[in-house]
Chains A and B, each alone.
Chain A
Amino acid sequence: MLKRRIIAIVVLVVGIALGYLVIRSQAPNPPRFLAAHPFRLGLDLSGGSHLIYQADVSQIAASDIDTSMASVRDVIERRVNTFGVSEPVVQVQSGGFGSTNTHQLSIELPGVTDITKAEALIGQTPYLEFKVQSDKPIPQNIVIGPDGKASTNVDISSQFVSTGLNGKYLKQAQLIFAQGTNEPTVSLQFDDAGTKLFADITKANIGKVVAIYLDGQVISAPVVRDAITTGTAVISGSFTPEQAKALVSSLNSGALPVPISLISTETVGPTLGAQAVHAGIMAALIGFILVGLFLIIWYRVPGVVAVIALALYTVITLALYKLIPVTLSAAGIAGFIISIGMAVDANILIFERAREERLRGRSVGEALTVGFKRAWTSIRDANISSIIIAFILFFFGSSLIKGFALTFGLGVIISLISAITITRLFLRALPTPRGKTGRFFFSSGFSMSKK
């Protein structure tokens, strides 16, 4: 008995200490160790932009898609990093359960609430591609207008086909000024694979045009005079020095191996998020107090123990959110708040079972022991269904739902452990009730006091 009491006190002290650390780390000027583990807030709470781009992988062999997407991610990440956004998250989202075979890039930019800036930040990444004249040129109708001039409305792009040589093979770009003319030109240096590819292309196309496309527009279409084996190419469009300089810097931060297009954006201002956090804390607190009052009034001493177990559950969960870390969104906070309610279920099951056993004539202590044992199958089966739901929701895909599924599922699992072990520990550490008053404090409900 003494040993149990010591363990119970130790658990209580550890719990209070953990609670203190969680609160202290949110207060101003926390110690360095605590400052390293803040709550990680999602974009909807901290403010920022979330952009989703769709990658067009139709031109890429199925086996290369994953590596191409990875390099798209790297390129965008580099670009985002140069703009000094704190903790950007760039992720590839491929297919996933219940979806068509799509490849998307999800970009989260905390603190960036100006969508124009965010779009420009990513949109500047150029898509560079080399194309050659098609073997089967498509005849074009040139219409002579009433003014006697031929129309210039000719579809040039249909005359060219992709070579597979694109920005992925670029090693470095440089701004140079052509000798004599002093015209700004952009010099490209390919990597080893690109050099070989470029050599093959130029060899096969001597006397023909090789067009250089940037973001789907022809920027230069020189005629190949000789095979180029050095892996260098020069783009001499009609650049201004500023344009050439911008192109070089954006090419160097990386050209995209696949074209991407923006399909969805979300921007949340910082005030809205702060309001949501405040409201979430309020809802959790008010709910906790009401539930606590109910438990203590209905279940008395075991109810008090259940409230302590619930408080410990809350503290453990919050500490885990910091340590894992779990990114909290409004939906995630909702999941947490609901999980507080669910965490009580196991205790209610046990207490109700214990009450039945007591009605069958067992002593209070015995009834609790049997109650714990017999309630277990119900607790297990009831929680498995919730875990199944959380699991399926987690693989639903969208980040909003993932946040909810994670806090909800984590809550169910932690509460399963805390509600049983902690409640049992404390109840067994308490003195066995004697006499009428003792029994009253361990009974439940309102009609019970008569029995």
Chain B
Amino acid sequence: MFVIKFKTLFISISVFFVTAAIVSLIIFGLPLGIDFKGGSALEVQYSGPRPTVSAVTTAVTNAGFTNALVQPVGSNGLMIETQTLSDAQRAAVLAAASLEQPATQTSFTSIGPSVGTELKHKAIASIILVLIAIILFVAYAFRKVSQPVSSWKYGFAVIIALVHDLIIPTGVFALLGHFYGAQVDTLFIVALLTTLGLSVADTIVVFDRIREHLNGSKSTSFPKLVGESLSETFVRSINTSLVVLVMVLSLAFFGPATTKLFAITLAVGMFFGTYSSIFLASPLLVVMEQGRKKKK
């Protein structure tokens, strides 16, 4: 199987993307949305063509809301983000945004800073919980497999793949945040967690095949066995990911505006998640087995 033959190349590609993601995170940082830092988001629609973003920003700033962030939404809408607003302040922002033509409010969200902090804790807690649950599950599912690679090493390979799947979409998001004003919200966390679930499912299918071959105790070498398992599950992994990717992309292109960024994050996550299941987790198993052999 070519994946095992060129395992160093494929692992290097992963290392490259993870490094690039970390660099992007360091340079651009991760912009938090109002979900997590608190604040208000006012979405308005104009009946005709909307005024320019800079004109509205100036108008809102002049009205006394200095940290306002204005972004275009849809064809005739704008999203204005500010600190947490009272109802009178909201009306003031709405009035300021009405330049040549009146702005109509289509949605308004206001989140207190304490809510944001609590949500941040919850988000971190749930990511950690998901990681722990998955590792426990993998360790349990492969508890009977210990030759020639002990069961916790499967768990270890899964963790590396999961960290890979977490870091790359986050790095891409930092990039999106810098160039398109994307912000981390609760849906981003959901996208990450869903990615983890799908990626683990893929990895498990490959590992399950390895488990089956090991139990069948064919006298082939471990790398060859992993290669066979990979080539047997290869078409399935690609097809399943393709099908889910088709659904996710149609959600991104045709779906509601609120879940667009969520779908894009999920698509990036799905892509690298599939990559890690095929080209990272299994080659890592072989590397670990060979490392063990050399020690002996």
Q: Knowing A99-B122, A263-B112, A382-B205 touch, does A388 contact B239 (C-beta < 8 A)?
A: no
The residues of B that contact A290 with a CB separation of less than 8 Å are 246, 250
B126 touches A392 (CB 8 A): yes
Interface centre among A268, A291, A390, A396 (most CB of B within 10 A): A396
Alpha-carbon separation in the docked complex, A48 to B134 (Å) = 38
Would you list which residues of chain A between 5 and 42 have a CB under 8 Å from chain B? Answer: none
Supply 15 A–B pairs (Cβ within 8 Å), ascending by A.
A97-B122, A97-B125, A99-B121, A265-B108, A265-B109, A269-B106, A279-B254, A279-B255, A295-B243, A352-B239, A377-B212, A385-B137, A386-B197, A386-B201, A388-B133
Q: Knowing A334-B263, A378-B204, A386-B198 touch, does A392 contact B129 (C-beta < 8 A)?
A: yes
B255 touches A381 (CB 8 A): no
Alpha-carbon separation in the docked complex, A264 to B186 (Å) = 15
B190 touches A382 (CB 8 A): no
B122 touches A264 (CB 8 A): no
Interface centre among A54, A119, A265 (most CB of B within 10 A): A265
Chain A interface helix/strand/loop/mixed: helix
Would you list which residues of chain B between 31 and 58 have a CB under 8 Å from chain A? Answer: 43, 45
Q: Report B76 CB to chain A, min CB distance, Å.
A: 11
A341 touches B243 (CB 8 A): yes
Q: Knowing A52-B115, A263-B114 touch, does A337 contact B193 (C-beta < 8 A)?
A: no
Would you list which residues of chain A between 380 and 395 have a CB under 8 Å from chain B? Answer: 381-386, 388-390, 392-393
Would you list which residues of chain B between 156 and 206 have a CB under 8 Å from chain A? Answer: 186-187, 189-190, 193-194, 196-198, 200-202, 204-205
Binding site for A on B (CB under 8 A): 43, 45, 87, 90, 104-112, 114-115, 118-119, 121-126, 129-130, 133-134, 137, 141, 186-187, 189-190, 193-194, 196-198, 200-202, 204-205, 208-209, 212, 232-233, 235-236, 239-240, 242-251, 253-259, 262-263, 266
Minimum CB distance partner of B245 in chain A: A341
Alpha-carbon separation in the docked complex, A279 to B90 (Å) = 28
A280 within 8 Å of B (CB atoms): yes
Chain B interface helix/strand/loop/mixed: helix
B107 touches A266 (CB 8 A): yes
Pick out which of these stretches binds chain B: A249-257, A397-405, A422-430: A397-405
Would you list which residues of chain A between 325 and 360 have a CB under 8 Å from chain B? Answer: 330-331, 333-334, 337-338, 340-342, 344-345, 348-349, 352, 356
Q: Report B251 CB to chain A, min CB distance, Å.
A: 5
